[in-house]
Amino acid sequence: MSTLEIRDLHVSVHTEDGPQEILRGVDLTVTSGETHAIMGPNGSGKSTLAYSLAGHPKYQVTSGTVTLDGEDVLAMTVDARARAGLFLAMQYPVEIPGVSTSNFLRTAATAVRGEAPPIRKWVKEVKSAMTDLEIDPTFADRNVNEGFSGGEKKRQEILQMSLLRPKIAVLDETDSGLDVDALRIVSEGVNRYKASSAEGGEGVGVLLITHYTRILRYIKPDHVHVFVAGRIVESGGPDLADELEANGYVRFAGVGVAGAGAV
């Protein structure tokens, strides 16, 4: 069983006025087969958590630990984190001019798997995954995300996830900017990978960051966490998401650190 364990994580960013603390003591454990939803208002630090786990250089970990199967994630380079089994689906996927989607995917899979996948098997694997996500096969020859719509970029992220086969997948507001059909397709892609990974072993652990409950109608969480002022202030089951949908975050308005700011 794979386990991502976050303990008392504090993270700061550099501003014109000096370091600003964003994460203020995050504690969270995600294990194989579990889906954890993190919900919170804008500026609460949810995306900071995602990018800190991935190793974005903008975010400085000042204290705390992050381990994956007992290994120190914070001591790893970004690529080593990916090879260890961490995956981040970005809220705003970037365009990579001059790099075709097919080359990008095969290069990434080779780096993560430790060897180049056999070409015939790989082509079949990619075509099948693209068909499942209703991605036009011609997109394989286009530059990564260049000229893609928002929904196409998000499907591309889930395509990467299904091919890279992570142990822990962090999905940072994957639902943002999606219409109803795109939301369904992306969610089905996540559920499909969860099911296939469970058949092949222990199943992927998912950390799903979102503002809204609409994606949770498709991707059912085992645990829901309320994130305010850079830390988790309450945890519960799926019913907690229903409460947030009905009442918003008013109950948590005074919870957290006064004056806290986040991105």
Average pLDDT over residues 103-116: 94
pLDDT digits (tens, 9 = 90+) for 37-60: 999 988 899 999 999 999 999 999
**pLDDT tens digits, one per residue of 110-136:** 999 999 999 999 999 999 999 999 999
Question: Can you tell me the mean pLDDT for 229-255?
Answer: 89
For residue 27, what are the contacts with CB-CB under 8 A and spacing of at least 6?
6, 7, 8, 9, 231, 232
Q: Are 81 and 69 in contact (CB under 8 A)?
A: no
Q: How many CB atoms lie within 10 A of CB 151?
A: 17
**Nearest to residue 10, comparing CAs of 86, 66, 72, 67?**
66
Q: Assign 199 a pLDDT band (cuts: 50, 70, 90).
A: confident
pLDDT attached to residue 262? 47
Q: What is the mean pLDDT of residues 195-206?
A: 86
Predicted confidence at residue 252, as pLDDT, reads 84
pLDDT reading at 96 higher than 90? yes
pLDDT attached to residue 253:
73
| pLDDT score recorded for residue 202 | 78
pLDDT band at 104 (very low <50, low <70, confident <90, very high): very high
- What pLDDT sits at residue 255? 66
Quote the Cα angle for 180-184-187, to 5°: 135
Q: Check residue 42 and give its pLDDT.
A: 87
**189: phi then psi, degrees, rounded to nearest 5:** -65, -40
